Amino acid sequence: MAVKSCDSTISASLKSEKQVLDQIGFCPQIIRCFGDGYSVEDGETLYNLFLENGDEEQRKMEIRGTPLNLAPESVNNNEYDSPVDIWALGCAIVEMFTGKPAWNFKPGSNVAALLIKIGVSDESPVIPTELSDEGKDFLGKCFVKDPNNRWTADMLLDHPFMFGSNYDDEEEEEASTSPDCSFEDASVSPRCPFDFPDWVSTQSTISSQSTFQENSRLVSPFSSYISSGLDRIRQLDCDQAPNWSFSGSWMTVR
What is the pLDDT confidence band of residue 21, given thresholds at 50, 70 and 90?
confident
Examine residue 89 and state whether it is found in any structural domain, yes or no.
Answer: yes
At residue 198, does pLDDT exceed 60? no
Task: Specify the number of domains making up the chain.
Answer: 2
Higher pLDDT, 236 or 168: 236
Note whether 7 and 89 are same-domain residues.
no
Note whether 67 and 74 are within 8 A (CB).
no
Determine the residue type at 4: K
pLDDT, mean over the chain? 75
Q: How confident is the model at residue 189 (pLDDT cuts 50, 70, 90)?
A: low
Tell me whether residue 176 is in a domain: no
Query: Do residues 38 and 77 share a domain?
Result: no
The mean per-residue pLDDT over the stretch 86-92 comes to 95
| pLDDT on residue 225 | 44
107 falls in which pLDDT band (50, 70, 90)?
A: confident
39 within some domain:
yes
Same domain, 153 and 94: yes
The answer to whether residues 50 and 72 belong to one domain is no
* 43: containing domain: 2-54
Last residue of a domain, one of 162, 194, 214: 162
Tens of pLDDT, residues 39-49? 988 888 999 98
Q: Indicate if 72 and 117 belong to the same structural domain.
A: yes
- Decide if pLDDT at 113 tops 80: yes
Please indicate, yes or no, whether residues 72 and 114 belong to a single structural domain of this protein: yes
Which of 127, 142, 162 is the last residue in one of the domains? 162
The CATH number for 8's domain is 3.30.200.20
In terms of domains, do 75 and 47 share one? Answer: no
Q: Are residues 41 and 77 in the same domain?
A: no
137 belongs to a structural domain = yes
pLDDT score of 147: 94
39-53, 211-225, 228-242, range with the lowest pLDDT: 211-225
Domain assignment present for residue 29? The answer is yes
The pLDDT > 90 percentage for the chain reads 24
**Considering 30, 54, 78, which residue would you say is the last residue of a domain?**
54
Q: Give yes or no: residues 116 and 93 share one domain.
A: yes
- Per the model's pLDDT, the better-predicted residue between 124 and 169 turns out to be 124
80 and 154 share one domain? yes
Q: What is the CATH number of the domain that holds 75?
A: 1.10.510.10
pLDDT for residue 80 is more than 90? no
- Same domain, yes or no: 71 and 158: yes
Q: Are residues 23 and 76 in the same domain?
A: no
